[in-house]
Amino acid sequence: VERTLTILKPDCVRKELIGEVTRRIQEAGFKIVAMKMTRLTKDTAAGFYSVHKERPFFDELCEFMSSGPCVPMILEKENAIKDFRDFIGATDPSEAEEGTVRADFADSVGENIIHGSDSVENGQKEANFFFSEQQVTANKA
Ligand code: GTP
Ligand code: MG
């Protein structure tokens, strides 16, 4: 079964949408196998999003991701990576399909509520960024 890594971003936490978004994630058939609340430092956020370090919005992105606590989770489902990206909607909420989390709750491309891994390989790396395999194993035991 495939895994993806999501983060309920600091805007999601500030808007008190942890419960609503988590309910939707579960209702859509994703199984939560690890989760926690954590506040990233700017440097940690920069490490997580290092693929974007040459992009013009990188500093803004790291500033935002460290602006308050966030909630990373590892999710399992058949076809988790693609299905989850369909579930959250386009990066820019004004382009996101109706009924997606970003269409319903995100304010802007910068503050877009939620992250989803873009490939199986990146999903694995991102899961390892926040959790150890032993943590997932312990949660399943
Ligand atoms: P993630 O799931 O968060 O990785 O989003 P994504 O895969 O839909 O988009 P991408 O990986 O291209 O960009 C990563 C994140 O950078 C986005 O989710 C946004 O939060 C932020 N971002 C992307 N483009 C812009 C932009 O033009 N301005 C700002 N401020 N942030 C942006
Ligand atoms: Mg991305």
- For residue 13, the model assigns a pLDDT of 98
For residues 41 and 132, give the distance between their C-alpha atoms in angstroms, rounded to a whole number: 20
Position 34 scores a pLDDT of 98
Q: What is the pLDDT of residues 16-39, one digit of tens each?
A: 999 999 999 999 999 999 999 999
- For the CA of 65, the nearest atom of ligand 1: 20
pTM equals 0.96
Q: What is the pLDDT of residue 64?
A: 98
Q: Is residue 138 part of a domain?
A: no
Span 115-135, average pLDDT: 97
Span 38-67, pLDDT tens digits? 999 999 999 999 999 999 999 999 999 999
Determine, yes or no, domain membership for 106. yes
Over residues 60-114, the pLDDT tens digits come to: 999 999 999 999 999 999 999 999 999 999 999 999 999 999 999 999 999 999 9
Residue 34 domain boundaries: 2-129
ipTM score assigned to the predicted complex: 0.94
What confidence category does residue 5 fall into, taking pLDDT thresholds of 50, 70 and 90?
very high
CATH number of the domain residue 108 falls in: 3.30.70.141
Residues with CB under 6 A from ligand 1: 52, 57, 60-61, 91, 109-110, 112, 115-116, 118
pLDDT value at position 110? Answer: 96
Q: Are 34 and 139 in contact (CB under 8 A)?
A: yes
Check residue 141 and give its pLDDT. 84
Q: Ligand 1 centroid to 41 CA: how many Å?
A: 18
pLDDT of the residue at 15: 98
Residue 31 phi/psi, 5-degree rounding, is: -95, 125
In a domain, residue 50? The reply is yes
Number of domains in the chain: 1
How many other CB atoms sit within 10 Å of the CB of residue 140? Answer: 10
Residue 37 lies in a domain: yes
